[in-house]
Chain A
C-alpha cells in the first residue's frame, strides 16, 4: 500500500511570491491534515480537510489556504511569502475523521523563502 505522497520535495521561492504544495493521501483515506515544522517553533497544525471541506484551521494568517479535491488529494497555498514561512510542510491522512484515527504522515515539502 502506497503511503502519503507530497510534491515537490523541495521548493525555493522569493519573498512575496506564492507557493503551492500538493499531497496525495493513502488510498481510501478521506481526511487530510497540513502541519508546519519550522526551526525553533516545532510542529504546528495548519489545516484539516475532510470530504472536501475545511474542518479546522490552526493559528495561521489567511494567506495560508488550501483545498481538497474530489479524489481527496489536497493542495496548500501560501500567498505573499515571508521569510519566516521557510519550513518543512508535512501532510498527513487518516481513514476517517474519527477522533481515534491514526494520522499517517508524508515525507514533507521543504519550502525555502529567499
Chain B
C-alpha cells in the first residue's frame, strides 16, 4: 500500500516570494507521483507528474517538483507566487494497485 503526508496544512506567502509545499510518500514500489491544485468550487487540475523519468519535473504555471528517492519526498516549488496561486494543493501517489492516494492537502494563501 502507499500513502502520502503533506507536511503543512496551510502555507501563507507574500506575492512575488517563493512557495514551497512539502510532501513525503510511502510506497512499496516505484510510484507515480502527482501534484494537483483545486481552486474554490472547482475540480482538480493536474500541475505536474513524476513517472520515473527525470527527477526534476516541470509543470504548468511555473511550478516544479523534485523527486528524491533517498528522502521519499516530492516537494513542490514556485519561484514567485502570484495571487492566482491561492488554492488547495494535493500531493498524490499512485501505487501498483492503481488507486490514487491523496494527501490531506495544503491551503496556500497569497498576501498582496
Q: Which residues of A are interface residues toward B (Cβ below 8 A)?
A: 4, 33, 35, 42-45, 48, 55-56, 58, 90, 92, 97, 99-100, 102-108
- CB neighbours (8 Å) of A43 from chain B are 90, 102, 105
Given contacts A42-B105, A43-B90, contact A103 B100 (CB under 8 A): yes
- CB neighbours (8 Å) of B46 from chain A are 102-104
CA distance A106 to B101 in the complex (A): 18
> Count of A-B contacts with CB under 8 A?
47
CA distance A43 to B52 in the complex (A): 25
By Cβ-Cβ distance, the 4 closest A-B pairs, closest first, are: A43-B102, A105-B44, A100-B51, A107-B43
**CB-CB contacts of B95-112 with A at 8 A, as 1s and 0s?**
011111111110000000
List 7 A-B residue pairs with CB atoms under 8 Å apart, sorted by A's residue number.
A43-B102, A43-B105, A58-B99, A90-B43, A92-B44, A99-B94, A107-B43
Main secondary structure of the interface of A (DSSP, over half): strand
CA distance A106 to B9 in the complex (A): 24
Q: How large is the interface on B (under 10, 10 to 19, 20 to 34, 35 or more residues)?
A: 20 to 34
Structural contact, A55 and B44, CB atoms closer than 8 A? no
CA distance A40 to B48 in the complex (A): 25
Q: Which of A48, A92, A106 contacts B98 (CB 8 A)?
A: A48
CA distance A36 to B32 in the complex (A): 21
CA distance A18 to B52 in the complex (A): 43
> Which residue in chain B gives the minimum CB-CB distance to A50?
B98
